[in-house]
Structure 1
């Protein structure tokens, strides 16, 4: 029976505050949270995501989980009854119930211990009050860690997106540079071919003109030689 009750408390424990649900709400991903815990998570993380699986929640308000609320209320009453029953631990010195917590010595004590010399001037509070304070402190630290984790995960997601964008931009720029230089190479090759062709044509024309001049000079020389001989 105790094992069943323990398992039920595990099933009815909020993943944020690690206590039995108070006014639980249900997200579309199937995870449930205390309404106040979820609202506080959303306010501090600035992301309307599930604290467990990080899935985005697009609705304005999550629906209340009435069945889970009823079960949680029942478990809370049972836990309170167990705390008020005779199952408390007994003081080994005085045989009285341990109803107080000595904050100076950080230990459970009974009413007689409080009035003894060892604890007379110490700050002693009821167990429930001390447990609630410690639970609130632990829950606050846990919530801060969860929120910080969510913030870091969001930053990592943004950085991953930015890194992907930078890589894509670099690839596009590299491709553009290659295309521009390819166009430049093609232009330079065409310009080189055109200039070489022009030089060759000019050389051909000059060579033809020079050959004609040589032929004419050869004819003049031959004519003069004939006249000299005669």
Structure 2
């Protein structure tokens, strides 16, 4: 234990435990909000990409390529520093709001492509069967196609969620008090790099494990729904 205590000072970490707990809670609710918003907008992007109207799917495709070809860090800077220069009334968003907007804009194209793949993986007979019993296109999509699509895309959705959680670390550059910011605060005040960043990494691992547990539960529920639909 002496060698471990020499490598990792638990006493110093204990002094910043509340800072890391607050950072974890901030990271969790920011990630959850951005996940829900990007998933919601991703459905519309997926439907636009599948549209038979040329100008509709081209707009969606251009948005996807534009966002996916630029780093999230640049997008955060553009929204935080560039947007106020374009608006006549200055910056109307604080740091946290800017972070939410940037991460949602960045994640939506990835969600859209995942959802589109899931929708296309559902057998066409499901849609034909829904129409045969009198459901319109919206009802078919909402009650039949999307539940099965979501069950099919759970693995890539988990992967994208993990990426989203890790991307929140970039919020620290605009002083959002999330988990990475907690680690930077501890390091700046104590100058102990190992304890600061190992603790930050452990906290991210705990959040990821929580995500796996919740996603496994959701997959079982959605999997049952999809099975009953068949």
TM-score category (smaller protein): under 0.3
Q: Which has the higher helix share?
A: 2
Relative contact order (alpha carbons < 8 A, sep ≥ 6): 1 or 2 greater? Answer: 2
TM-score, normalised relative to structure 1: 0.27
Q: Which has the higher strand share?
A: 1
TM-score, normalised relative to structure 2: 0.27
Greater Rg by CA: 1
